[in-house]
Amino acid sequence: MKTRSDVDDIQTTKTEKLLAVVLSAFLLLGAIWTYQKLDDVVRQHVSVPAYASGPAGQRLQQASGRLAQAEQERQQALGDLELRREAYRTALEARKPAQQLELEYNAAQSRLQAAEGAIAAAQADVSAARPAAEAEQQARSSRIDEALDRQRRDTFVSRLGLVAFLVVGAYGLLAWMRRRTSRWFPLAGSAVVAATVFAFVFACDYLTDYLDPFDWGIAAISGLGIAATLVTYWGIQRYLVRRLPQRRVKRRECPFCGYPVGSNVHCEGCGRDVIADCTKCETPRRVGTSYCGTCGATSGASAG
């Protein structure tokens, strides 16, 4: 026959407590690694459009390049014209032959006019290409923003799902081992501790994006922690209230007040009946037991 030990009756050793703490640390380390890795996984599956310019942007860049080159040529032509004009004026004032200098001066004027015409044409090209390029840039920026928003949204949902899975799984494992009265129960507590700390990591990571941690962020985290602790404490108390009568009966105590009753029919502490008939076979049985020792039926009467 396999004998089960009640985890409430066997004290957890220091070694088990130490191993539970170590397991909590390693579980939390693995959870945080997975938490960060989800960001890379989402980026691989949700691509962001490249920042390279499209056809309209390339036309604008080419027109801007021609405009810059035309302005540079105009500066060179203007400088050359000034030199030719000074040389031509000096020759006239000195009454020297100036036919060649006049030709060079006229040629410099022609180059300046050509450069100014190229500037005007390039400016027209830039003005014509700018609206389409700006529309293209705006559309590309919109697509990039949508992709980044989707990455952030998918990452948040994935991380939230991971946190929820760990929290629910940890508490489910704790309840399952509690029902089975398993000696591995302290390690289930490690999973609960790691999941709880991991939930705080997730909350702090995203709360600071919307709240000032030195303003309302800490208060929000404190409120969540208080609420979660009170809910957990309430659940534990309900569990203890259900288990308390059975534990008192095992110790031959009154299931109502805990006073030792021994083999008495009535409690000497509160006067209530501690022996009642089974609802199925009507055999006397102790109040607070889960099953009848004669017919095996579940208890129809419970301690209140």
Residues 113 and 19 in one domain: no
Residues 37 and 166 in one domain: yes
Do the domain assignments include residue 261? yes
CB atoms within 10 A of CB 14: 8
Q: What is the pLDDT of residue 203?
A: 79
Residues 173 and 238 in one domain: yes
Residues 32 and 66 in one domain: no
Tell which of 119, 152, 185 closes a domain: 152
| Domain residue limits at 227 | 14-47+153-286
Residues 205 and 162 in one domain: yes
195 CB contacts (<8 Å, ≥6 apart)?
Answer: 27, 31, 163, 166, 167, 169, 170, 171
Q: What is the pLDDT of residue 1?
A: 32
Residues 18 and 159 in one domain: yes
Residues 43 and 71 in one domain: no
Do the domain assignments include residue 40? yes
C-alpha–C-alpha distance, residues 179 and 237, integer Å:
15
Tell which of 152, 178, 196 closes a domain: 152
Strand partners, 275: 286
Q: What is the pLDDT of residue 24?
A: 86
Do the domain assignments include residue 6? no
Residue 179 CB-half CA count within 13 A? 5
Residues 134 and 158 in one domain: no
Residues 116 and 248 in one domain: no
C-alpha–C-alpha distance, residues 146 and 27, integer Å:
35
Q: What is the pLDDT of residue 52?
A: 65
Residues 239 and 137 in one domain: no
Q: What is the pLDDT of residue 256?
A: 81
Whole-prediction pTM = 0.51
C-alpha–C-alpha distance, residues 88 and 98, integer Å:
6
Output the tens digit of pLDDT for each of the chain's 304 residues. Answer: 333 444 444 456 677 777 888 888 888 888 889 888 888 888 888 887 776 667 877 888 888 888 899 889 889 988 888 888 888 788 777 777 778 877 888 888 888 888 888 889 888 888 888 888 888 888 888 888 888 888 888 888 888 888 889 888 888 888 888 777 777 777 788 888 888 888 888 877 776 665 555 556 556 666 776 787 778 778 777 776 777 777 787 788 888 888 888 778 888 888 888 888 887 887 888 887 777 777 877 764 333 4
> Domain total for the chain?
2
In total, the chain counts a number of residues equal to 304
